[in-house]
Amino acid sequence: MRISNRKRVIVTGGAGFLGSHLCERLLQDGSDVLCVDNFYSGTRDNVAHLLSNPHFELLRHDVTFPLFVEVDEIYNLACPASPIHYQRDPVQTTKTSVHGAINMLGLAKRTKARIFQASTSEVYGDPEVHPQREDYWGRVNPIGIRSCYDEGKRCAETLFFDYNRQHNLDIKVVRIFNTYGPRMHPNDGRVVSNFIVQALRGDDITIYGDGQQSRSFCYVDDLIEGIMRMMASPPGFTGPVNMGNPGEFTIRRLAETVLSLVGGPSKLVYKSLPHDDPQQRQPDIGLARQQFGWEPRIPLQQGLEKTVAYFRKFLAR
């Protein structure tokens, strides 16, 4: 018999950038949270402020191995998400996406838990359709240097929907577009953290390509709100659902905005574009608006100000 009515929730990858913010939100909403992380790209520092909370538990564990716990909901965020991290050990990246999904789906099947999959806009590859809708199948290189992440996440989606069809599992799948905010890793190679850290150090800001390639930047608080709404949606609604900011910005404009916020001597320098780097990335979020009224609220300038403030403190340690 259950002693507590609090929801028991697992967040894999819970010590990462997104996972730590999700753990915070779940605790605020009254859940018991088990944060699972192997600290490959996440860090204890991201959740250190939660350790004194009696409803929070931190477990060092690799999701490529089974986990035997009792749970009501599972948020599967475990996987390095930046090119620098996921290309460092590409075989392990694929294992984390595929074996991790199998293990978490098995746990959900045994406990009859609702399970969320953090998928990615990278399932669309270098898209021929703009903006990207959920019914677009993508244009992905299956043997390139980014394939360990792109194809790993695509396979994870396949597993989720097969478990749904074969075992009637209650799944929720979200395709996350570029997200930024406090607790990003300073050396993760993502464009927002790269530009801010370079500007704060007074280094030149490195733009790959001509800077005209586009991205859509969603502040982390907006994304977490969307994830929570998706998880609370009716059982028959599985997704996949795009989540990101539909406002499109060129990489050059982002760099100029960061420079205007930080100031200093940095100037823009240009280097060759990495292999398979997509030229355009913009979500169509019509489905999220229609299903649960979600859309981002925090404009890029405001979100960047908060992120710059975080990195100022981080680099001053």
Q: Give the catalytic positions in this structure.
A: 149
Q: How far apart are CA 64 and CA 93, in angstroms?
A: 10
Q: Measure CA 280 to chain center.
A: 18
Burial class (CB in 10 A: 0-12, 13-18, 19+), 223: buried
**181, 303 contact by CB (below 8 A):** yes
Q: How far apart are CA 105 and CA 94, in angstroms?
A: 16
Find, among 220, 302, 216, the residue nearest to 251 by Cα: 216
Other CB atoms within a 10 A radius of the CB of residue 29 amount to 12
Find, among 241, 256, 200, 235, the residue nearest to 117 by Cα: 241
